[in-house]
Structure 1
Amino acid sequence: MKALLALAHAVDALSEGIGRVIAWLVLTVALLSAGNALLRYGFSYSSNAYLEAQWYLFSLIFLLGGAYALKKNAHVRIDLLYGRLSPRTQAWIDLVGTVLFLIPMSLGLLYLAWPWAMESVRIREVSPDAGGLPRWIIKPFVLVGFSLLALQGLSELIKRVAYLMGLYQLEEEREEVVE
């Protein structure tokens, strides 16, 4: 179990590092959005490339941020009962949800997205809009995002099993997302 917990901590560190990059992407997309608005309304100038860059960065935030949100326990959850349950029951719910839903969904989406992303890379797909950006660069990030989510799901699964075995404390994981 120590080796599995070491793997879980390595995955957690990866998610933390990506989370820091995402924070900078949020700032970048906010500045790009403001710049696009300023150019469009202040100077009557618009560019499909700027708009698509904004969309691509926004996509990266969500694709890469899923694993970080899961690690921080900041994902959306309907918390009518969950918050009132004991930590042990919560761990069981998380474990079952991860095994039955999170990991199969992530792997299924990887399976379905692989040919789509690889075909885009193979043909060097570009935007059909005038002045648009290459699409083949962004589409493989769907694979990266769901791979990271599956890895973080595995990390959470390992930690929940270790917690239920009395070998790990989950309370240290419950920290504020914004640092």
Structure 2
Amino acid sequence: MEQVGEVEQALTTLMDLCGDDPAREGLQETPYRFVKAFLEYTQGYREDPKHHLDKVFDVPHQELVLVKDIEFYSMCEHHFAPFFGVAQVGYIPNEKVTGLSKIARMVEGYARRFQVQERLTTQIAEALESELAPLGTMVVIEAKHLCMCSRGVKKASTKTVTSSVHGVFAKEASSRAEFLTLIKD
């Protein structure tokens, strides 16, 4: 693929610009490894993550379903620096439930794209809404952004928390409080 060769050449130029010798032993295969890694980091573009939720079951359950601490890794679209953390994903079914692992796969699919945390949070909630039509959906993501921790303001212990709240979670404080209580460690 011609694009791979172009990217590898650009990375060789970048290594030289940074002050290292792209021909030295440790760096000779780095451009290829970099391209391979980025294709893995962005594998979410090669799927529609909400389709993981297609498998549903008719289960008479109208109480909270919460999948906690779903680890994810993503790439900041502004700096191509990693950000990573956990997603807390909950919904109150309305006739349909999905497999618990499907929720984690869906999170992974959206995370494996160039992202901002705010969009990632919204995409997860909107996928649940569109595929399951639940009574309510709530997503909370907590993440560390290397673009903020290791460069720029260099605040290494900083975490960012985002949420997306729909349906009964938006209307009923008690439902929202139950979710928030359950996600606390």
In the superposition, the TM-score normalised over structure 2's length comes to: 0.28
Q: Which has the higher strand share?
A: 2
Q: Whose RCO is larger (CA < 8 A, sep 6+)? A: 1
**TM-score where L is the length of structure 1:** 0.29
- Say which structure is richer in helix: 1
